[in-house]
């Protein structure tokens, strides 16, 4: 795993922790290995409610160094191999390899340990992981001879001085892509959280029959919900990352033009990208409230109070845990019509789908619900709870057992 709570809490990190605890509850011995920034080189192990959490560090890499570590990082490689030899696992579940050398896959395979991989995003093919270009911030269909990937890498580095190096950089990224493609093909099973993700990888050289679609389960909390008070302000909430690709600026531009009684709560860690957060705060009208980062229990408290969740993503979301948590809480969702959000949200049924990045369309969608709050109740009536996390863990356990008997994606 590339990161792990409590130092980093994102969707993939949280999911990994939940899977680890779920497997432990089923009586399995569980160990987690992840990278963490730190001075020098080292590793240690801590106990997390019976789960052995191993972390390794090899300095504090820059974004460029982190990308290159996919190709080679001997200290992290050695730490991982020591953990493999000490733990001697029956199966390894690779959640993510950002910042880890892809050669760890070879170490797993050399020891004859079956492994599965969850495709949380597009990193195995797209070095940006989110199919968004750094040079013009548009959706990307994938590598085109890796020339576009090289342009992305240079744009992310903030330099135009190395444009003559694009052919060489493209060749390096093509080599990276081939190494990661081979790693995927060696897995006993690949897991996609949505049909969109499975189809995308199938279109990029990974046999679709080897990809199991398993939407993440939700560890929900039941709260008694009262009907909306007549005449009360319509309350919307955004809960998630405060980064450009999440489209929160689009939401605020749209919300600033909504007439009528309404309020917007924005929840997310403001320390990750303070420049972007300052931009959001500067354009937020008075009826926008910033909640900061939310602990897990607080997420459910917020969902129990709001009328609708808003997800204005600008990238092809692969699942969106918060959307399914909203459904578990009985809350309809307004979402961008991109990626897996098209699968989860049925337009006009359990929510509304809005064109990506379209401020006018978002304003109209929000205005519709403010003007006619009874529409919220109709949408709410059609919300169905997603599979529970317990169901997901049991299905995953069966997939692990099946993986011990099969030979790979091919």
Task: Please write the tens of the pLDDT for every residue from 285-336.
Answer: 999 999 999 988 899 999 999 999 999 999 999 999 999 999 999 999 999 9
Q: How far apart are CA 29 and CA 23, in angstroms?
A: 8
pLDDT in the model for residue 227: 65
Write down how long the chain is.
410
pLDDT in the model for residue 219: 84
Q: Are 334 and 350 within 8 A, CB to CB?
A: no
Q: What is the mean pLDDT of residues 86-96?
A: 96
Task: Please write the tens of the pLDDT for every residue from 361-373.
Answer: 999 999 999 999 9
Q: How far apart are CA 147 and CA 224, in angstroms?
A: 54
The architecture CATH gives domain 234-381: 3-Layer(aba) Sandwich (3.40)
The model's confidence at residue 404, banded by pLDDT at 50, 70 and 90, is confident
Which DSSP letter does residue 226 get?
P
In the block, residue with structure tokens 């001075």: 39
Instruction: Output Rg (C-alpha) for the chain, integer angstroms.
Output: 22
Q: Are 65 and 85 within 8 A, CB to CB?
A: no
Q: How far apart are CA 126 and CA 227, in angstroms?
A: 45
In the block, residue with structure tokens 């600008």: 314
Task: Please write the tens of the pLDDT for every residue from 390-402.
Answer: 999 999 999 999 8
Task: State the average pLDDT for the chain.
Answer: 92
**For the chain, which residues make up each domain, given as ranges?**
11-218+390-403, 234-381
Q: How far apart are CA 59 and CA 241, in angstroms?
A: 26
In the block, residue with structure tokens 């009262």: 226
> H or E element: which one contains 93?
strand 92-94
* Angular region, 224: left φ>0, alpha ψ -120 to 50, beta rest: beta
Q: Do the domains 234-381 and 11-218+390-403 match in fold? A: yes
Task: Please write the tens of the pLDDT for every residue from 220-236.
Answer: 776 656 566 677 899 99
> H or E element: which one contains 115?
strand 115-118
Of the candidates 98, 104, 190, the residue with the CA atom closest to the CA atom of residue 200: 190
The pTM assigned to this predicted structure is 0.92
Quickly name the fold that domain 11-218+390-403 has: Rossmann fold (3.40.50)
Residue 71 has pLDDT above 90, yes or no: no
């Amino acid at each position: 795993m590339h990161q792990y709570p409590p130092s980093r809490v994102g969707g993939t990190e949280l999911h990994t922790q939940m899977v680890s605890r779920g497997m432990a509850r089923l009586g399995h011995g569980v160990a987690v290995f992840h990278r963490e920034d730190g001075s020098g080189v080292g590793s240690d192990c801590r106990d997390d409610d019976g789960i052995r959490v191993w972390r390794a560090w090899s300095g504090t890499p820059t974004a460029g160094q982190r990308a290159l570590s996919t190709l080679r990082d001997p200290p992290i490689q050695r730490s991982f191999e020591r953990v493999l030899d000490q733990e001697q696992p029956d199966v390894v579940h690779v959640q993510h390899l950002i910042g880890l050398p892809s050669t760890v896959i070879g170490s797993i395979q050399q020891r004859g340990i079956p492994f599965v991989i969850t495709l949380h995003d597009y990193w195995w093919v797209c070095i940006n992981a989110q199919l968004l270009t750094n040079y013009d911030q548009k959706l990307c269909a994938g590598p085109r001879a890796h020339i576009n990937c090289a342009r992305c890498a240079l744009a992310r580095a903030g330099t135009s001085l190395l444009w003559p190096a694009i052919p060489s950089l493209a060749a390096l990224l093509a080599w990276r892509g081939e190494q990661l493609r081979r790693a995927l093909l060696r897995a006993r099973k690949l897991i996609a959280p949505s049909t969109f993700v499975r189809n995308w990888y199938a279109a990029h050289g990974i046999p679709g029959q080897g990809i199991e679609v398993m939407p993440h389960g939700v560890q929900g909390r039941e709260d008694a919900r009262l009907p909306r008070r007549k005449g009360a302000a319509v309350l919307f909430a955004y809960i998630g990352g405060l980064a450009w690709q999440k489209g929160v600026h689009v939401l605020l531009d749209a919300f600033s033009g909504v007439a009528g009684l309404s309020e917007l709560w924005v929840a997310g860690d403001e320390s990750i990208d303070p420049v972007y957060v300052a931009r959001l705060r500067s354009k937020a009208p008075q009826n926008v409230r910033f909640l900061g980062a939310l602990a897990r229990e607080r997420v459910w408290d917020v969902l129990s109070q709001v009328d609708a969740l808003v997800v204005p993503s600008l990238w092809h979301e692969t699942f969106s845990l918060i959307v399914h948590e909203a459904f578990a809480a009985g809350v309809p969702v307004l979402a961008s019509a991109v990626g897996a959000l098209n699968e989860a949200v049925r337009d006009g049924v359990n929510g509304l789908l809005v064109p990506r990045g379209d401020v006018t369309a978002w304003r109209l969608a929000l205005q519709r619900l403010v003007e006619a709050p009874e529409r919220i109740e109709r949408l709410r009536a059609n919300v169905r709870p997603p599979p529970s996390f317990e169901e997901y863990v049991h299905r995953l356990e069966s997939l692990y057992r099946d993986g011990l008997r099969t030979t790979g994606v091919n």
